[in-house]
Structure 1
């Protein structure tokens, strides 16, 4: 009876969650309803999956609207009709300039079309077309010519809200969507408050005078049946890469055996052949052959284009993936747990995450869309977050900015707020989690056997690739498993560094960056790992990883593989990171492991470190079968956590342990570990893939640090800002030069030990300006003077001012203040037009400019403004010269001492204690450029907050754990810097430098601790 039901996927309109809609229908005795979200099919498959629970037959369709103006409703008679609806809707979602017409302009015979009642319009209705009569239309219908055509009339009772609160929420969402005050929201932008579901009998009573409408509606719904197998979701990905499944399997087998010489040479262990046959057999049984071949096909293309990539994910546990060169991890070498990769109980295929350089990924994506017929990106639901909702609703209610800021910071007591502010908080909590708009999954791509529109409509984001209207969880429910084509800057750094090195070192053999076996035994790389000197290196450069490497004293591949997973939040949260470090460093501590866990995980001393460990513990300790164990692992994060099937598996774990007589305390403790990190740990193969890339970057850092830092800078760094990578290059004796008109290019370049920063790093310098400079320089050679530059390059005064301020014309030996004066005299402020070639050069007037001195200080502040950081030592900008000689290298001898030291802030990690209080971990550089690591517990964090970038005086106690030094901060103060000379009379003030002092530890102590 309900032909027009909306969920909250009618974005910024509906307010009912999909399952809530079914629950409301069940309560009201409704057995069939049509889900017709506004221009959306996001909720359709989820409602289909949940409908059995509520014993409701769902019918699928779409409410086609221009804004809120309803044009018509399409309802699918069958699966083919649903596909046609999705295709038709996608036409409008792909082209925002297209308006939805009053009547469908395509033949949609396998759909029902329902038009809203309009008393003054009359047109011929096709057999599958009807007119919808709302309760408000009933009185007018009695006197309408449509009363003579009752066989073409149906009940149209819209459902958008559950109750009055839902309607109020709807009005707020409409105000947000219209970017207007609630008081100014036009009624035409709202639905009707009565758009709520009535009990079935009440609805029949409402239309009692027109029984024909009720029978027409019921007949229409009876003719609709859309079915998807959501209980046994066999893979719906493209079935074959070749002509059929038989030839697919033959190809997979051939490729596998052809890959053996490349990976293992001629001396092959029998284990390899046994593992191959075991995997091939299960891959065939589970119909995953095409999944492997499609990944192989994509990567074959990538290799043909010389694109670097890393294959990771659970698929790295597969020897087939290794031999097909999908991954670079040898599962035999690492004894990777086969059942984590694939088992007969597992419904979804193994997960391949393929990382490409950010420069290459779009081309690979384009290749996939051009090669495979039914392809789409996967959407993500970007939802309303609590604080963002407060800001949006604050504007809707007309609250001043100061009040909104106060509410977003949580600086209030709810009962002391005025009524409007209380409403903001109340409804912000209510809409938290509502979908706001659709985005794009980080890298998920569907390659389907059937057209994507068989399952949902697609929209066209700016990226230019068709994207589904549902997320990856819904895709998996129906058996569409994603191919992850991801972007990673680390690969761009490696590729560019190798290119720079090969170009600069033509007298040596090209680098084999894939010589991982050689890297694993390289002493220079081991030294970098042991001492955590890995800035710029993939996954091992963050403060937390740097400290972990020191604590573990890692200098080998397996140790790095473990560290890559231990650093994940789950292991740390469970308290097992510290326990692992203890057992790693002190063998006697390994005896404390429970015998059962020690037997299950001997390599990690009885501690769960990898995702495989969850499966092992669930299977071997908790008595779950492998399918249930994998469900447990997958269910630890996201939407699965609340699913009934996951909760049943959890209960079975406890029931099995109780049946086997395992101590309750032990079971509870193990479950706590499982629950705390299973969704946040890596698969061992995944960690191993990361470690391979880490070794590649470590090799480049060990042997070619300046070339590698140049590539890192050009790929926009990694964990840190560009400034730190510039600093790191300087620490390796690099000479850093600001952009130069005659030397620089768009990106940074290296000549010998000198790195010239690229023009792209200059804020506000336009790309077209950069291109003009480079084109002219290439055609006619270097520029001889500012005058020569102005003659040859059309440029505005604003753009040339940027270049002069960064001292890009320093080759002229003329003070930049004088150059700015000259530029202003010679360049008009009128709108710049492209210069045309002429036969004669117009002689420009030359002016005598006054002598205007500038200083190193001005250069420092100009570089801060234009680059975002100073090219001089930031300590040289302190208002008062430093009086402390204490450095990071001294701290190891000052354990438990109270010290005062100065540090330049690099990064802050904010976290919360178990009771919800904010604390910080800080990373600073001392004057020598070495790292200082600080801990700021909640009382100190509250009393001495960070106040932005700069140099801080740090007072605190030196703490040491596992050879890792930190400062437990008791006081923090940001130090003043010199007044900007560009806006003062102190323009020629020289930079001051720290006077030379005795470097003995005694001298340092004299100037620090004694003064405290």
Structure 2
């Protein structure tokens, strides 16, 4: 009897989930229910999936509104009607059109016009499928409305938006957030009626007892509606069934491509290779995944044609078919990759393929996919209200001052001393936390469907301009839609651009480069030595302090070691305590046999009996706990976090434990192993995934080993990596580069290199407009270098403010004229509000001005760079108010082992973390006076006393310790050192002495 029910996917309007709606229906003995969210279908698939558990027959519809102003409710008679509704809504969302007050002609849809809208719009003509909705509120007005003549058209339309007063209050807050107004200023018309609740069926029948025909009409309407989606375990994939148009032709094509790929991939094609290929092909055909592989092959083939770099990873990298189709570069035979992780008869979903493209190439590839295939959409996701954000929003809605909101966000309050309003903010903040706020786009998921994607939901059109589903990946998989992950990453952009720079800067060397010679890279001593010594700045996945530390502790000097390290670094292994155990077993021969359970060691000999990869969990579940591969796959899916709350995961956990007990394992061992399994949640990599990462790491390490400066320029031009740009610039200097600030004649928008000279790009000048950069570069390209400031002003259209930025950064240093003089000239030649016209046919004669003799000190230049670039190009140690009391650095740590050291460091990065008891501690990486990196740790007692206060130089006193060959400093105390006062603004009386001692000596470049 309820034709108009909302969930919290009626964004910033509804207040509870589709599951809570079904629970509400069960409590009120409602057995038929129409879900009609406002201009949204996000909840529909899961509503249909879960409804049978609550003895509810699900029906789907949409509440069409302009803002909160109702137009009509569309109710699907069947799946075809649902498709019609989704087509209609999507068209209006894509083109940002208003919903009309009169519904179009639908074939398989019932239309219900709310009572008030019928009166307001004076609707008189109704089609066979059109009705007038009467709520409990409308009953008293009905006799006086003139609508009694439409007896056959009247149906019960009691909207359901709230369960109680708290829901209504939350609704009002959401409406205030959506309208960005104080709660007290929220217009009444922006709210729903407080009585939009669900009542027991018998109560509804009593309320409509005077108008029994309304209930009869409603029941007749509901009984004509039925919707079905297959959520069974044996469901068939809904992805594109055939790549060529024929399943038989698909099977012939994939076999042909695989056998063509064999000689390309393998010098010797032996029996194990043939057997593995035959086994995979048989299973891929049996599972109906042939088109899935061929679509991925089509995508990477197009990338090859366009010259785009890509990395294929995910569980699909465990497949020899993927290797032969060149979807991945990971050889499953070489790495002995576990076939059952990739595919088995028990899994309904195809393997994951994550195809990474350069961040520059990904939009082009996405466009190609949308043009190449028929039914394509990006996968949606929900951005939910986060704790800090929702407190800030509610604080504004309640009218709290910003300072009080900050206190609540940071938790700096005594709950007993809070006023009533602050308590309400916190109360409703907890209530709204985790609820959907707005629809967004999955990081890389694309759906390619056999049916139109509007069969499953409407689509919206985010700023990227591609249709995007209104549901997420979890429910997509439930209904049989499996995503293609097309991702963008900067690492591939670095590799591609580095090769372009090498071709320009060292053309003779470029001819010898084959970036796909992974087999050669694996044996290269120079590359492997970089890994062993952790000299990996800028290199994909191996440059972070944590990875650098792990590589040193494991003494990794080969590809297989790097594959393992790529997974060991993941939080799951560390959380279980097995990262440390892995290192101990790796370094101490015999420890694995002593500590590991024999079954675990037998399952995972390569990783010393330690679970490192996702497939290890499947192996342990299958061999250690006697779960079948289907149950083991449920564990794998549970590990991803997607299905962790589902009852099927709990059942498998119970069976894991009971099976182990049947095998008479002690509980201590059972729960130790289970905790290791559980700790992998959301973090574990498939081995093939790690192997794919390691391939890209080797490519970037090759470039760093043999073309370090070109590679560093590419790193900087592609947005850097783990660290700030200044540290990649510092690293380039350490590798032998001469760094130049932006220059009118030598710089581009991005960084460029000539020999060993790197000219910083104009992009680092924070306030320099993009159009000014473009004008300068275009003018220089067409008419050559600039010869003077006057020549520049004759040729480039620029304002005084923009020109001042260029002069202050010394971009006119080629003129040999002091920048103070240039600034004087600029202000004399251009009035403040003047902008030069476009270059004239005959350049004007410039008046010569008498300007006093002016000087610029090196310290002034350093502070100009700090302001304009965000960093200086001299050593930051040259800016200290007091010079360091010693020259200790990273090179001295071994000498101070187990002793205390006094050392200075320029802060690179800090990782703030907490102990298992919740106490704060820090890991910090710094650069010493000699440009070398060292690491510190502040344990909770020290972290409670000392804070890192942003960028700058810190002096540490602490003990040098060693763990597995990795040296670090356990800090006892620290202090941030002061810089000299900025000489451009400092009082001359206080800074004269410092200027005299420093300005005459050249600062170290």
TM norm structure 1: 0.96
8 A Cα contact 2:857 2:999, kept in partner: no
1:1000 matched residue in structure 2:
none
Residue by residue over 1:730-753, the C-alpha shift from the partner in whole angstroms, topping out at 9 and shown as x without a partner, is: 010110001110111121111111
8 A Cα contact 2:800 2:835, kept in partner: no
1:22 to 2:22 alignment: yes
1:108 matched residue in structure 2:
106
Give the distance between the partners of 1:93 and 1:163, measured in 2 at CA: 32
SS in 1 for 2:590: helix
8 A Cα contact 2:74 2:85, kept in partner: yes
2:600 matched residue in structure 1:
597
1:802 to 2:821 alignment: no
SS in 2 for 1:959: strand
1:294 matched residue in structure 2:
295
Residue by residue over 1:240-294, the C-alpha shift from the partner in whole angstroms, topping out at 9 and shown as x without a partner, is: 11120000010000000101111113x2121111110000000000000000000
* Equivalent of residue 915 in structure 1, options 914, 917, 920: 917
Question: Where in structure 2 are the equivalents of 1:764-775 lying within 5 Å?
Answer: 764-775=767-778
Question: Where in structure 2 are the equivalents of 1:764-913 lying within 5 Å?
Answer: 764-830=767-833, 832=835, 835=838, 838-913=840-915
Report the CA distance between 1:442 and its aligned residue: 0.8
1:933 to 2:945 alignment: no
1:528 matched residue in structure 2:
530
Report the CA distance between 1:589 and its aligned residue: 1.0
* Equivalent of residue 758 in structure 2, options 755, 758, 771: 755
1:1007 matched residue in structure 2:
none
1:692 to 2:695 alignment: yes
1:515 to 2:517 alignment: yes
2:304 matched residue in structure 1:
303
1:479 to 2:480 alignment: yes
* Equivalent of residue 234 in structure 1, options 233, 236, 242: 236
SS in 2 for 1:310: strand
1:161 to 2:162 alignment: yes
1:39 matched residue in structure 2:
39
Report the CA distance between 1:499 and its aligned residue: 1.3
Q: Which moved more, 1:561-570 or 1:658-667?
A: 658-667
8 A Cα contact 1:610 1:684, kept in partner: yes
* Equivalent of residue 975 in structure 1, options 977, 983, 991: 977
Residue by residue over 1:838-874, the C-alpha shift from the partner in whole angstroms, topping out at 9 and shown as x without a partner, is: 5433333332333222211121111112211111111
Give the distance between the partners of 1:246 and 1:754, measured in 2 at CA: 59
Give the distance between the partners of 2:364 and 2:997, measured in 1 at CA: 49
2:246 matched residue in structure 1:
244
8 A Cα contact 2:799 2:836, kept in partner: no
Give the distance between the partners of 1:237 and 1:991, measured in 2 at CA: 73
SS in 2 for 1:444: strand
8 A Cα contact 1:856 1:991, kept in partner: no
Report the CA distance between 1:937 and its aligned residue: 1.8
Give the distance between the partners of 1:640 and 1:110, measured in 2 at CA: 35
Give the distance between the partners of 2:661 and 2:571, measured in 1 at CA: 29
1:2 matched residue in structure 2:
2
8 A Cα contact 2:133 2:157, kept in partner: yes
SS in 1 for 2:407: helix
Give the distance between the partners of 1:356 and 1:833, measured in 2 at CA: 43
2:94 matched residue in structure 1:
94
8 A Cα contact 1:15 1:170, kept in partner: yes
Question: Where in structure 2 are the equivalents of 1:270-289 lying within 5 Å?
Answer: 270-289=271-290
Give the distance between the partners of 2:285 and 2:936, measured in 1 at CA: 54
SS in 1 for 2:140: helix
Residue by residue over 1:966-1001, the C-alpha shift from the partner in whole angstroms, topping out at 9 and shown as x without a partner, is: 1111222111101111212558826749999xxxxx
Summarize the Cα distance change of 1:102–1:815 in structure 2 as closer, same or farther, 3 Å threshold. Answer: same
Question: Where in structure 2 are the equivalents of 1:198-213 lying within 5 Å?
Answer: 198-213=199-214
Give the distance between the partners of 1:934 and 1:861, measured in 2 at CA: 28
Give the distance between the partners of 1:425 and 1:124, measured in 2 at CA: 50
Report the CA distance between 1:59 and its aligned residue: 0.6
Residue by residue over 1:588-632, the C-alpha shift from the partner in whole angstroms, topping out at 9 and shown as x without a partner, is: 211211101001111111100000100000111111111110111
Give the distance between the partners of 2:920 and 2:106, measured in 1 at CA: 58
* Equivalent of residue 729 in structure 2, options 726, 729, 741: 726
8 A Cα contact 1:876 1:993, kept in partner: no
Report the CA distance between 1:644 and its aligned residue: 1.1
Give the distance between the partners of 1:308 and 1:113, measured in 2 at CA: 51
1:364 to 2:365 alignment: yes
Residue by residue over 1:934-961, the C-alpha shift from the partner in whole angstroms, topping out at 9 and shown as x without a partner, is: 1112232222111111111112221110
Give the distance between the partners of 1:994 and 1:300, measured in 2 at CA: 61
Report the CA distance between 1:900 and its aligned residue: 1.8
Residue by residue over 1:334-370, the C-alpha shift from the partner in whole angstroms, topping out at 9 and shown as x without a partner, is: 0000000000111110000001101100000000001
8 A Cα contact 1:794 1:832, kept in partner: yes
Give the distance between the partners of 2:949 and 2:238, measured in 1 at CA: 54
1:617 matched residue in structure 2:
620
Summarize the Cα distance change of 1:720–1:695 in structure 2 as closer, same or farther, 3 Å threshold. Answer: same
SS in 2 for 1:892: coil
Question: Where in structure 2 are the equivalents of 1:666-685 lying within 5 Å?
Answer: 666-685=669-688
8 A Cα contact 1:614 1:678, kept in partner: no
1:702 matched residue in structure 2:
705
TM norm structure 2: 0.97
Report the CA distance between 1:678 and its aligned residue: 4.4
1:1005 matched residue in structure 2:
none
1:51 matched residue in structure 2:
51
SS in 2 for 1:73: strand
8 A Cα contact 1:355 1:486, kept in partner: yes
Summarize the Cα distance change of 1:794–1:335 in structure 2 as closer, same or farther, 3 Å threshold. Answer: same
8 A Cα contact 1:574 1:676, kept in partner: yes
1:328 to 2:329 alignment: yes
1:648 to 2:620 alignment: no
**What stretches of structure 2 of length at least 5 have no aligned partner?**
none
Give the distance between the partners of 1:448 and 1:633, measured in 2 at CA: 25
1:585 to 2:622 alignment: no
Summarize the Cα distance change of 1:824–1:994 in structure 2 as closer, same or farther, 3 Å threshold. Answer: closer
1:317 matched residue in structure 2:
318
SS in 1 for 2:639: coil
8 A Cα contact 1:539 1:690, kept in partner: yes
Report the CA distance between 1:697 and its aligned residue: 0.7
Report the CA distance between 1:826 and its aligned residue: 1.7
SS in 2 for 1:983: coil
8 A Cα contact 1:856 1:990, kept in partner: no
8 A Cα contact 2:956 2:971, kept in partner: yes
Q: Which moved more, 1:507-516 or 1:453-462?
A: 507-516
Give the distance between the partners of 1:713 and 1:639, measured in 2 at CA: 36
Give the distance between the partners of 2:107 and 2:154, measured in 1 at CA: 18
SS in 1 for 2:400: coil
Give the distance between the partners of 1:221 and 1:532, measured in 2 at CA: 67
Give the distance between the partners of 1:828 and 1:343, measured in 2 at CA: 75
Question: Where in structure 2 are the equivalents of 1:425-464 lying within 5 Å?
Answer: 425-464=426-465
Give the distance between the partners of 1:165 and 1:11, measured in 2 at CA: 17
Q: Which moved more, 1:916-925 or 1:245-254?
A: 916-925
Give the distance between the partners of 1:976 and 1:942, measured in 2 at CA: 22
Summarize the Cα distance change of 1:833–1:35 in structure 2 as closer, same or farther, 3 Å threshold. Answer: farther
8 A Cα contact 1:502 1:510, kept in partner: no
Q: CA RMSD in A?
A: 1.5
Report the CA distance between 1:703 and its aligned residue: 0.9
1:950 matched residue in structure 2:
952
Give the distance between the partners of 2:640 and 2:300, measured in 1 at CA: 30
Give the distance between the partners of 2:636 and 2:915, measured in 1 at CA: 26
8 A Cα contact 1:502 1:511, kept in partner: no
8 A Cα contact 1:881 1:993, kept in partner: no
